[in-house]
Structure 1
Amino acid sequence: MPDVDTPASARTTTTDAAAESKLLPGSAAYRRAILALFAAGTATFLLLYSTQGLLPAISDDLRVSPAQASLTVAMTTAGLAIALIPVSTLSEKYGRTPVMAAAVVSAAVIGLAVPFSPDLTVLVVLRTLQGVALAGLPATAMAYLAEEVSKKAIASAIGLYVAGNSLGGMASRVIAGFVAQFAGWRVALGVLGVLSLGCAVAFILLAPKARHFTPSPISPRALLRTLTGHLRNPLLVRLYLLGLLFMAVFGSVYTVLGYRLTAAPFNLPEGLVGSIFLVYLVGTASSAAAGKLVARLGRRGALYFGIGAVAVGLLLSLADSIAAVLAGLVLITAGFFTGHSVASGAVSHTATSGRAQASALYLTAYYIGNSVGGTVGAAAYHDGGWPAATVVGLAAMVAAAGVTLYGTRAARRATAVG
């Protein structure tokens, strides 16, 4: 609340000065901030999914099942999901940049230790700690951009940060696959660790000092009140469920895909399997097109479109044809990113207060979906092959369609009452 003794003209001048001091496209400070967060986003997703493309090799070397090997991905995202809200809350007191720097450096250092894991237990523990460390980045990065970048440039700035995420997620699988083919999975993880540490150093050197951050005390009671308020909102809860269900399918498919393609009838080498993850780039295009799709079909129409694309892609992938599998993967990826973009965007639109916490809850559900989907999908594949994993994905999409249909009917009832 402004000081009542301060003249309105002075308050306006102060507000204008603050707005003018924010980062604008074209300035050196803006370029440094974007490059810093691009590097941090790349490092985050290089590490988060570093073992996903290596699961068949890990299974063979450590003599563990697909479900056991999948824990190296599932527990990382579970660690991130559990720690996301408490760790990102630390940035309210200690600052956005210090928390992000600590997160990316500690995660990269752990990444250098991961290749030396003597067994699956140590590997899973280190990967879980890596997920906890990475929890300091996603929500904190969004808050940093909202505070430091001019309002006109926030959308493009966030887009570039997300591009770093996509690049890291894709590069993690592609690089790891090619390196593992010639030098083994441990060397592949070491290479990703070194690359991530380089990104962490780039972030520290490039990130401009925050000029608009104001420290505030951490109030667990106030945080709990905000979170419970969001969880009492039926629409937000439905959006959280949709994020979880879409990510469960995506996590399941990408966790098990390597096992299927390295086995008969395909018998593809690890390097070629890694290159198939370039399909991930489809997500960038479908995310960008999601806004136009919502404008044309409405939010729920776009969700049905995403659900349908994923379901058709899963059915296509059942064929023992590499062309059909690739076409199915394109549809699954496009449908997932469409659903994720629509649901995550609707969270910010729906929450009238505590938007950061509302988004953090969505991300928590999203990463829990990845953990559950990856583990259940791998277990299903171990027991019944790719058709069983496909059933898991289709079940998740049926549930997503049910949630969306319930929302459609609830909206119609509210309109009729109004």
Structure 2
Amino acid sequence: MTVTSTSTPDRDARPRAGTPAYRRTVIALVAAAVATFAQLWSVQPILPAVAHGFDTTAAQAALTVSLATGGMAGFTLVWSGLADRLGRARVITLSLLLATLLGCFAPFAGDLVLLLVLRTLQGAALGGVPAAAVAYLSEEIHPADVPRATGLYIAGNPLGGMGGRLLAGMAAEYGGWQWGVAANTLLGLVALAVFVLVLPRPHARASASRPDTGGGEGMGPRLRSALTTRGLLPLYAQALLLMGAFMTVYNLLGFRLMDEPFGLSQAVASLLFLAYTAGMVGSTAAGSMTVRWGGYTVLTLAHVLMVAALAGLTAPYLAAVIPALLVLTYGFFSAHATSSAWVGTRAVHGRTQAMAIYTLCYYLGSSLFGWMGGLVYDAVGWNGSLAFAAALTTLAGLIALRLRRLPAGPATP
């Protein structure tokens, strides 16, 4: 008697690309990303309105951004421990619910100190999403399709960041900074509802096929695994250095475009955030490219694109600056999607802790190197800050050499 294929089913029953469960999972995680990054960056384009509303300086108003990102970075490890205890999906839901509730109070802040406290707490609350999302995909999606699914999730980051910034800017035109924050809180609430309603319930067969992520171990052993597993430290370095280079450019480009020889208005210069559409394309394409060529090849290509784009940004012509900015954004989000997916598949034990460390490095790079890039700009100007960003990108490429022969799959215990 001939044995049919149905008698030898695939041992890994997790959803494959193209299945309804896969599509619902990806849509839900993209919605979570939109909710997270729309609220995280909601005040960035309306900082002048915040400064005017509280009669304060631009530097003090900018703390509404930096303290939120700092809160997110600082609490990712806390959220990672909760995710191991409560489950990834529950932590994402709780994270977004707390952040949205805090967002409801923010427009009613009567002084800057209260707004800063609320923004810090909101950033800390939002840390649960990046701490758990990629780990969730790595466990719920078939391993062959994790890079593609992660790339789609990462595409939700620039979608939420760009959409939130544009929405805040438009709303603030009519009702001040309060309306800008409130509009993104409403967007976050809608996205949270999409996440809860669309995310499929985990099946027992999928749970049975998952790799062991904790083995009943405490936080210490899982954190140690996240720090000692071969290949993870170079991947963390990608988040730290490339985000620092990326934020150096985006923090300063508005000043550059409003200065000579461009002389653009604040409203027109703010449209530079539309370049984030290239990030959506890059992060989505990175998943397919990783499956085809491997993670190291995609990372190397992203490094080259970023350095070339930084050179293009030195040009005094808008016709050269715009495509260079698009290439830079495409390259950065390609690298981010590739490295974060690689962390998710590489870290078998302490996966949530590994993603938390990656997220911490990501926002530390944003805060630390973004600030240092501003110091360079004040000292030697725009081209100096571009050279600083290029140095960070080149260093990331040199560190990535350690990933050349690293398998893309899970590390063996």
When normalised by structure 2's length, the TM-score is: 0.79
Q: Call closer, same or farther: CA 1:217–1:170 in 2, change over 3 Å.
A: closer
Q: Which residue of 1 aligns with 2:354?
A: 358
Contact residue 93 and residue 218 of structure 1 kept, 8 A = no
Aligned mates of 1:260, 1:48 — CA distance in 2: 24
Aligned mates of 2:229, 2:213 — CA distance in 1: 26
Query: What do residues 251-309 of structure 1 show as CA deviations (whole Å, max 9, x unaligned)?
Result: 22223333433455544444433432121121233334446766898755544433332
Q: Does 1:250 align with 2:242?
A: no
Aligned mates of 1:264, 1:190 — CA distance in 2: 35
Q: Call closer, same or farther: CA 1:85–1:176 in 2, change over 3 Å.
A: same
Q: Call closer, same or farther: CA 1:279–1:343 in 2, change over 3 Å.
A: same
Aligned mates of 1:137, 1:408 — CA distance in 2: 27
Letter in 2 for 1:257: L
Instruction: Return 318-327 or 264-273, whichever deviates more.
Output: 264-273
Letter in 2 for 1:396: L
Q: Which residue of 2 aligns with 1:235?
A: 231
CA shift for structure 1 position 248: 0.8
After TM superposition, the structure 1 = structure 2 runs for residues 57-96 of structure 1, keeping only pairs within 5 Å, are 57-59=49-51, 62=54, 67-96=59-88
Q: Call closer, same or farther: CA 1:283–1:31 in 2, change over 3 Å.
A: closer
Q: Which residue of 2 aligns with 1:199?
A: 191
CA shift for structure 1 position 53: 2.6
Aligned mates of 2:395, 2:381 — CA distance in 1: 22
Work out which of the residue numbers 107, 111, 116 in structure 1 matches 2:108.
116
Letter in 2 for 1:235: G
Q: Which residue of 1 aligns with 2:365?
A: 369
Work out which of the residue numbers 384, 390, 393 in structure 2 matches 1:394.
390
What SS class does the counterpart of residue 273 from structure 2 fall into?
helix
Q: Which residue of 1 aligns with 2:119?
A: 127
Q: Which residue of 1 aligns with 2:89?
A: 97
Letter in 2 for 1:55: L
After TM superposition, the structure 1 = structure 2 runs for residues 143-162 of structure 1, keeping only pairs within 5 Å, are 143-148=135-140, 157-162=149-154
Query: What do residues 341-391 of structure 1 show as CA deviations (whole Å, max 9, x unaligned)?
Result: 343344345445433433332222112212223333344445555345334
Q: Call closer, same or farther: CA 1:180–1:322 in 2, change over 3 Å.
A: farther
Aligned mates of 1:327, 1:394 — CA distance in 2: 17
CA shift for structure 1 position 41: 1.9
Give the % identical residues: 36
Work out which of the residue numbers 274, 279, 284 in structure 1 matches 2:280.
284
Contact residue 19 and residue 150 of structure 1 kept, 8 A = yes
Q: Does 1:343 align with 2:335?
A: no
Equivalenced residue count is 396
Q: Call closer, same or farther: CA 1:92–1:17 in 2, change over 3 Å.
A: farther
Instruction: Return 345-354 or 181-190, whichever deviates more.
Output: 345-354
Q: Does 1:333 align with 2:329?
A: yes
Contact residue 180 and residue 270 of structure 1 kept, 8 A = no
- Unaligned segments of structure 2, at least 5 residues: 1-5, 407-413
CA shift for structure 1 position 319: 3.3
Aligned mates of 2:229, 2:22 — CA distance in 1: 37
What SS class does the counterpart of residue 128 from structure 2 fall into?
coil
Letter in 2 for 1:79: G
CA shift for structure 1 position 54: 2.8
Letter in 2 for 1:167: L
When normalised by structure 1's length, the TM-score is: 0.78
Letter in 2 for 1:171: G
Aligned mates of 1:294, 1:341 — CA distance in 2: 10
What SS class does the counterpart of residue 133 from structure 2 fall into?
helix
Aligned mates of 1:402, 1:355 — CA distance in 2: 25
CA shift for structure 1 position 75: 2.3
Aligned mates of 1:202, 1:295 — CA distance in 2: 29
Query: What do residues 156-193 of structure 1 show as CA deviations (whole Å, max 9, x unaligned)?
Result: 55444333333212201222233334543332222111
Q: Call closer, same or farther: CA 1:224–1:124 in 2, change over 3 Å.
A: same
Q: Call closer, same or farther: CA 1:252–1:55 in 2, change over 3 Å.
A: farther
Letter in 2 for 1:174: L
CA shift for structure 1 position 105: 1.5
CA shift for structure 1 position 37: 3.0
Alpha-carbon RMSD across the aligned residues, in angstroms, is 3.9
Contact residue 151 and residue 341 of structure 2 kept, 8 A = no
CA shift for structure 1 position 132: 1.1
Aligned mates of 1:55, 1:187 — CA distance in 2: 13
